[in-house]
């Protein structure tokens, strides 16, 4: 039993040893086979790598050759363009050289001709000098012979001749002057009258004297109540904002606007028209509309000035002077509208200048501007005569000296230095002296109302001042922050005493001081 187990164990062990040897043998064969396959694949990879390397090498060589060819062609193009430019430059150089050579040849010919002419001129000058010497000798001989014959020297003969000619010329001149003066005395006055009459006959204008009231027409009398407002607050607001007295009476479908200043009347009329058309009439709206209307009037003044200078054919007038011309529409001189008067004077000056052979355009310019000093900007300008003020403005805005002198001299404030000055003076007198052209009483009345307002403005705290009811009432609006109720009463008394002391006027003047306090807030 034990022997069989040993035999079985020995057999198993022998089998294991034999199996191990066989496995090793098989493994060795497989390894050698794998080595052979690896060597074979490695040789194949090497062959493929070599072939790819050769192909890459060939490609790179081809690319290098192509790049070389490309660079070579570009280089050849650059060389060709440079050669072309050099050839063109050489050609231009050759052309310039040929041109310069031709110019040199021409200059040489000119120089040769000039030298020949200079030689000819020098020869002629020598001949002329010789002839001049011969003439001088002959002249001296003739003078000596004449002196011997007349027994007088040349200087004595000259003196006698000059004296005789002086006497004859003096007698002739005196006779001519006497005849000219007599003829001038006979014809000057007649010619002057003829020129003035012809000028007046050629200028025909309508004349309208400015009034101090305007009529505002309404569609129905119901509008009057809306204009007056509750307890009269609307009409008071309009009067305070415009400075115009509004008269609402029994006149059907009409309201009267009364004020000496035509600008204020026009602002009030246009404002009322806007308010009535819009339908919203209350104090805040009234102030807004009045402010807008004032701006509209300012723009209209500029447009009037532009239309006036275009109608008269006046060019290159300064914008500030155009604005002054437009403001003349709302000013009057002794009741005569200032713009119409200036237009008429401009036309008269143009016709008269043309009759006298002067520049009619310049004369029209002076005629239009001669009364610009009657439209002052500030109170300080009121103290300067209007002719001098107008001359100063004309000088300030670049007008010519003749124009400035004619403006300043048309009332003899300064000396007249050009012929335009007497023409403007005469035409101004013609325009103002015609029957119905002016009214002295109206101008003094307007001046009295302006003086009333100026007295009120002389006190501190006064915001606005309006003379209304034909100068029988002075309405003063003060600043509520600077003037309290007590000071308002004192101000009314002081203004009334100032008016009573400084002015002369018919009847009585009522001084009303208005102090208004407002509280305004905005809900957001």
pLDDT in tens, 387-439: 888 898 888 888 888 889 988 888 888 888 888 888 888 888 877 765 545 55
Q: How far apart are CA 112 and CA 102, in angstroms?
A: 15
Q: If residue 211 lies in a helix (H) or strand (E), which one and from where to where?
A: none
Q: Which residue has the higher pLDDT, 228 or 326?
A: 326
Q: What is the pLDDT of residue 215?
A: 75
CA-to-CA distance for 145 and 151, rounded, in angstroms?
10
Kindly report, residue by residue over 4-63, the tens digit of the pLDDT: 778 787 777 888 888 888 887 888 788 778 888 888 888 888 888 888 888 888 888 888
Q: What angle do CA 469, 470, 474 make, to 5 degrees?
A: 60
d(CA 413, CA 134): 69
Rounded to whole angstroms, how far apart are CA atoms 276 and 111?
A: 95
List b or e across 252-270, with b for residues whose CB sees 16 or more CB atoms inside 10 angstroms: eeebebbbbbbbbbbbbbb
**Residue 125 or residue 12, greater confidence:** 125
Instruction: State the pLDDT at residue 209.
Output: 44
Output the CA angle 128-131-137, nearest 5 degrees: 140
Task: Report how far residue 413's alpha carbon sits from residue 385's, in angstroms, rounded to the nearest whole number.
Answer: 8
Report strand pairing: 473-478 vs 510-514.
Answer: parallel
Residue 154 · residue 147 · CB < 8 Å: yes
Contact between 329 and 339 (Cβ < 8 Å)? yes
- Cα distance between residue 188 and residue 87, in whole Å: 88
Angle at 328 between CA 209 and CA 310, to 5 degrees: 110
DSSP for 395-443? HHTT--HHHHHHHHHTTTSS---STHHHHHHHHHHHHHHSTTS--HHHH
């Amino acid at each position: 039993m034990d022997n069989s187990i040993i035999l079985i164990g020995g057999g198993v062990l022998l089998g294991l040893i034999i199996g191990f040897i066989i496995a090793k043998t098989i493994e060795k064969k497989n390894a050698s086979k794998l080595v052979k396959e690896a060597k074979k694949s490695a040789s194949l990879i090497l062959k493929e790598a070599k072939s790819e390397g050769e192909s890459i090498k060939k490609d790179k060589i081809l690319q290098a050759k192509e790049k070389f060819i490309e660079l070579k062609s570009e280089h050849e193009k650059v060389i060709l363009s440079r050669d072309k430019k050099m050839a063109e430059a050489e050609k231009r150089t050759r052309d310039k050289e040929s041109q310069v050579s031709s110019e040199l040849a021409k200059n040489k010919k000119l120089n040769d001709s000039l030298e020949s002419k200079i030689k000819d001129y020098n020869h002629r000058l020598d001949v002329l000098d010789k002839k001049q010497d011969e003439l001088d000798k002959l002249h001296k001989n003739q003078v000596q012979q004449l002196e011997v014959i007349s027994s007088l020297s040349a200087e004595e003969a000259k003196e006698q001749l000059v004296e005789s000619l002086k006497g004859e010329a003096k007698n002739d001149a005196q006779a001519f002057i006497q005849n000219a003066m007599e003829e001038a005395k006979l014809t000057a006055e007649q010619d002057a009258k003829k020129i003035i009459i012809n000028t007046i006959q050629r200028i025909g204008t309508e004349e309208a004297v400015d009034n101090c009231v305007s009529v505002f027409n309404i569609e129905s009398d119901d509008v009057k109540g809306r204009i007056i407002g509750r307890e009269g607050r609307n009409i008071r607001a309009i009067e305070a904002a415009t400075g115009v007295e509004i008269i609402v009476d029994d006149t059907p479908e009409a309201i009267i606007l009364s004020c000496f200043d035509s600008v204020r009347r026009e602002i009030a009329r246009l404002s009322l028209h806007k308010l009535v058309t819009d339908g919203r009439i209350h104090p805040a709206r009234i102030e807004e509309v009045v402010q807008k209307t004032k701006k509209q009037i300012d723009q209209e003044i500029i447009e009037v000035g532009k239309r006036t200078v275009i109608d008269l054919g006046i060019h290159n007038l300064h914008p500030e002077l155009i604005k002054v011309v437009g403001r003349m529409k709302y000013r009057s001189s002794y009741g005569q509208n200032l713009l119409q008067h200036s237009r008429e004077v401009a036309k008269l000056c143009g016709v008269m200048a043309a009759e006298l052979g002067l520049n009619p355009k310049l004369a029209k310019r002076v005629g239009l501007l001669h009364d610009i000093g009657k439209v002052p900007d500030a109170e300080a300008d009121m103290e300067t005569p209007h002719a001098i003020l107008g001359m100063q403005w004309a000088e300030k805005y670049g007008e010519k000296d003749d124009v400035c002198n004619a403006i300043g001299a048309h009332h003899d404030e300064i000396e007249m230095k050009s012929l335009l000055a007497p023409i403007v003076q005469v035409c101004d007198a013609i325009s103002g002296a015609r029957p119905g052209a002016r009214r002295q009483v109206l101008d003094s009345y307007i001046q009295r109302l302006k003086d009333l307002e100026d007295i009120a403005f002389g006190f501190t705290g006064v915001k606005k001042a309006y003379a209304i009811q034909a100068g029988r009432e002075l309405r003063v609006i003060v600043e509520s922050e600077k003037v309290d109720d007590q000071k308002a009463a004192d101000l009314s008394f002081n203004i009334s005493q100032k008016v009573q002391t400084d002015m002369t006027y018919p009847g009585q003047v009522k001084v009303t001081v208005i102090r208004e306090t407002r509280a305004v807030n905005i809900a957001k």
